[in-house]
Structure 1
């Protein structure tokens, strides 16, 4: 074989080249591409594995969300390799439960520590070595943005985790970035009307928001929705707090809150828990409290103190779709133990699970792990993964889907989940010609 006979000769034989060739042809002949001293071998797909990575916080103030992302991620990989859950359902008939494209799926989990610098230091070397076919996760907006940059640079599929930051499928979109979860604008458009239907017409609102992309995004998007609406809600401003803040009394002057009737805590993870504890002590019982993106970890930390708090979740057990039940039951079988006869899955877990299944489905349909082939399969794809019917828009790689709006409740024997589902809002996404998608150029 001459150099002209081999498209990849003169370039390193990396793991990704092997995997892409396996996906397209079943076997890969390496003869002539190994360089001097290399022997001629044939690698069968039956002997191969493919690695996907989760980048999630396992330490720090967002660690509870990272833990749930890991639960969903690892459950999906178990199902890809062994069957179960959504694998084998008619929606995913492409998946056999025997790996993906004949390759066993292996995993790498990287603790981002909610730091973009840490994320880059851990992810870039692995991408340099072509070790990942795709990567997932990201809670902090700055981490997701770092992953976005790396996905773009290395042309590797990246599936955003629990970050709703608009820019990821807006001004900073990438051909290789996809999001199953809703964005911040869609969250705000779904949440505000539900709150308005319950509270008195006149409201004085205030925000406590994270001094980070995810907090700034919520503060701006919710204020925009309120300002553009006919609601008699009067914004009185807001105050930003550093992620990891525990003492809110020192950050917020009580005088600011004297006339406030509706408080948005635009915070996540342990930050949201600490802020809710502060709000329960500092605010009157008549003040409505909103945490725009709620998770099971918040409810687990607060117990009955989560009652009455409004927000959205990425998934809820009462959505009532067949695949929602399939996912919920599979999650419970895997993780409920001891005295816990039931265990409601969290939004971050379902998001991670669904995106791994979606990626594998696209690879099987494409017959390849190649990023361009994955993109071709995902753009415009209609699918269901437990949150109702969804569509991955071609214009921005944002999934169009329902948004579960909830209110916290006291746990009872009949309700394991501490969140009452108030409705699954549909049709709340701005179109491709409106912000944030209008700024996306793929």
Structure 2
């Protein structure tokens, strides 16, 4: 006698029993990286470059078999350049999306907020563009890693160049009023001998929302002070707005304009005429990859240009490097577990888009060469295929020479009322998480 035909309900249950294991297996095949970046706000251009490069890196990773055999996806949120939004996003990325790591951001206040969440949740966080010393200093955590240089390193190499040309001259600082601005100004004042604010004056501009009037007010103060060097401690669209006004007022003819941390997107936003002769630093640029024949960097530039019809910036290079470095760390660890990945990163040396870098063990700062650059003349910029040859390299300094020593880092930790070492991991006996 043939078995009874299943009822509709029994048929559905049977189908679920057959399909569910396959669905679970498919779900297990995917791993998510939490990408929290500024799609909007004053740093949106840097955010777009990060997104493009991160997607390029993900496609390369997946084409090579994923990470530990699992396909990788981005779980994406918009920080809007706001630390409170970034924190809420980071929690959601881990708790709701199941992200196994966090990266992104172009603001140090955002990076600090994300680092706090990463420490609470036990997942690695990689700061993509965050130059405040605090990110891996006073506000550093065991789960936080910074791929770019910090303000101290930029100031060290930049002051080497400036001191040879403007020793004893008068400076004026216009500074974004948040953690990156403060530590960048403090670091540059330290190494240029311009700490006396009565002589070397400065003003601060609001962050994250500044208006043209804010920059005009600051620039009027600079005009009145008549400095030899005007330092714009501004980033993203804020820098673009300020330098366009300064150039329009003819300040470039009367003083040297300095932007401590530059990106290609910032230079492009300001334009060739306004950027010509402006001095700053970068940890990487497409020109540097070609000038020093860094093969990994050249390959990245070419792949990025084929896909997007333009060159990548520092922001993109950092995001691209982070995705590949995370993959490498997971594969060294043999697991996605946060503690094991952290240990696999600490002290690891890598060469990817430039010369050798190292995730320094005691503070998780990426030790790397930092470059002083100057804006090229407009005709040089325009002669380039994409009209993006903005930077001429003037000087450089290795990461070992530029970075804080262990003692200097510990002094910063003490000043922030933090212990002289990063937190132990949960499986090292702290019982914290």
TM-score by length of 2: 0.82
2:145 paired residue among 168, 178, 184: 178
My pick for the range that moved more, 42-51 or 130-139, is: 42-51
Instruction: Please give the alpha-carbon distance, in whole angstroms, between the structure 2 residues aligned to 1:200 and 1:312.
Output: 17
Matched, 1:330 2:303: yes
> Aligned equivalents of 1:350 and 1:396: distance in 2?
22
* Aligned positions of 1:93-112 closer than 5 A: 97-112=64-79
2:362 alignment partner, SS class: coil
Residue 50 of structure 1: aligned partner: 31
Map of 2:254 onto structure 1: 286
CA distance in 1, matches of 2:355, 2:395: 13
Q: Does residue 1:361 correspond to 2:324, yes or no?
A: no
Partner of 1:239: 203
Q: 2:217 pairs with 250, 254, 272, which one?
A: 250
The DSSP-based 3-state class of the residue aligned with 2:257 is: strand
SS in 2 for 1:77: helix
Q: Which residue does the alignment assign to 1:132?
A: 99
For the Cα contact (< 8 Å) 1:136–1:158, is it kept in 2? yes
Q: Which residue of 2 aligns with 1:63?
A: 44
> CA–CA distance in 1 between the matches of 2:178 and 2:82?
11
Residues 1:216 and 2:182 are matched in the alignment: yes
* Aligned-pair Cα RMSD in Å: 2.5
1:157 has 2:124 as partner: yes
Provide, for residues 211-239 of structure 1, a one-character-per-residue CA deviation record: whole Å limited to 9, x for no partner: 1111111111111112289xx99951210
Q: Deviations over 1:173-194 (max 9, x none)?
A: 1111111111110110011112
Structure-2 residue corresponding to 1:391: 358
Q: Deviations over 1:127-147 (max 9, x none)?
A: 223610101012122111110
User: Which one of the candidate residues 403, 406, 423 is aligned to 2:395?
Assistant: 423
* Alignment partner, residue 123 of structure 1: 90
Q: Deviations over 1:381-439 (max 9, x none)?
A: 01012121011111001111001221001214258421112233212112222136862
Q: 1:302 aligns with which of 253, 265, 270?
A: 270
1:193 aligns with 2:173: no
Unmatched 5+ stretches in structure 2: 1-16, 414-419, 423-433
Say how many residue pairs are matched: 382
Matches within 5 A, 1:15-30: none
TM-score (norm. length: structure 1): 0.81
Looking at secondary structure, tell me which structure has more helix per residue.
2
Q: Quick check: 2:75–2:97 contact (8 Å CA) kept in 1?
A: no
Distance 1:356 1:400, change over 3 A: same
1:434 aligns with 2:405: no
2-side partners of 1:58 and 1:255: how far apart?
Answer: 32
The more displaced of 313-322 and 371-380 is 313-322
Point out the more displaced range, 410-419 or 155-164: 410-419
**Cα separation, 1, equivalents of 2:352 and 2:411:** 23
Match of 2:227 in 1: 260
Asked if 2 retains the 8 angstrom alpha-carbon contact of 1:311 and 1:405, the reply is yes
Please show how residues 264-275 of structure 1 align to structure 2 within 5 Å.
264-275=231-242
The 10-residue stretch of structure 1 (118-127 or 220-229) with the greater mean CA deviation from structure 2: 220-229
2: distance between equivalents of 1:168 and 1:98? Answer: 33
Deviation at 1:40? Answer: 10
Cα distance in 1 between the residues matched to 2:84 and 2:405: 34
- Partners of 2:388 and 2:132 lie apart in 1 by 30
Distance in structure 2 (CA, Å) of the matches to 1:284 and 1:400 = 33
Alpha-carbon distance between aligned partners in 2 of 1:135 and 1:233, rounded to the nearest angstrom: 39
CA distance in 1 between partners of 2:86 and 2:222 (Å): 40
